[in-house]
Amino acid sequence: RRMTTGGELVPAAVAQAFTDRYGVPLGNMYGMTEVGVIGTDLHGSHRPSIAPAPGIEVRESAGELWVSCPASPYVGLSDPTRWADGWLHTRDAGTVDTDSGLVTVRGRLDSQVSVGGMKVDLTEVEATVAELPGVAAAVVVWDDGITAYVQPDGPLSEEMLDKLLAERLAGYKRPRVLRLLDALPRTTTGKLVRSTGALRSAATP
């Protein structure tokens, strides 16, 4: 009857596939441990955007989402890049529509990298990889270059993966390194691990 997701960005293709199968839109929720629920779109009316929760104000500063927070949620922390003057710096990239107030989360701020002077959003690259046929899951990180760790869903080679990506991504956005793993590392709650060290270890025979 209803499903709402949270924790990670859901690719548009997955949201559409859910609606096609069950006949209901996929809802969306965004929050942080520090402040709880920040915004929701429980009925999937605005996907991928959300509406701020009651009493919560969200603003955009230089591409980063800031959330109203009267006091620092960090005991003993005085880092102004995390909290200052009533605002929690989420370190999430996103935009706030000035007319509707709707918030669109773009991914982690540290997913924005520069390749040859060109800006690349690793979240976009990851979504492109994850939506390829034959891919069950993917994580894209910066490791002296764009690196993609991929969990296949059936027969898939690095050569075929590179060919498919060449058809969908500009050259400077394509991963320099592709790693195929039987299973990507996940946390105890099932979220994909994005630690470069953990991914390297998982890819080591």
Mean pLDDT of the region 48-69: 93
Cα–Cα distance for residue pair 202/160, rounded to 1 Å: 22
Cα–Cα distance for residue pair 121/111, rounded to 1 Å: 6
Cα–Cα distance for residue pair 51/39, rounded to 1 Å: 5
111 domain residue, yes or no: no
Residue 8 sits in a domain whose CATH number is 3.40.50.12780
Q: Which of 106, 140, 160 is the last residue of a domain?
A: 106
CB 62 within 8 A of CB 115: no
pLDDT in tens, 12-37: 778 888 999 999 999 999 999 888 99
pLDDT of residue 182: 92
Q: 3-5 and 26-32 as β-strands: parallel, antiparallel, unpaired?
A: parallel
Average pLDDT of the residues of the chain = 90
Identify whether residues 30 and 76 lie together within a single domain: yes
21 domain residue, yes or no: yes
Identify whether residues 142 and 168 lie together within a single domain: yes
CB atoms within 10 A of CB 19: 15
Cα–Cα distance for residue pair 18/20, rounded to 1 Å: 5
Cα–Cα distance for residue pair 17/123, rounded to 1 Å: 20
pLDDT in tens, 123-133: 889 989 998 98
Identify whether residues 11 and 73 lie together within a single domain: yes
176 domain residue, yes or no: yes
CB 87 within 8 A of CB 68: yes
Identify whether residues 138 and 194 lie together within a single domain: yes
Give the domain range for residue 43: 3-106
Identify whether residues 144 and 174 lie together within a single domain: yes
**Reported pTM:** 0.69
29 domain residue, yes or no: yes
Identify whether residues 66 and 101 lie together within a single domain: yes
Q: Which of 73, 106, 139 is the last residue of a domain?
A: 106
Cα–Cα distance for residue pair 155/11, rounded to 1 Å: 22
As for how many domains the chain has, the answer is: 2
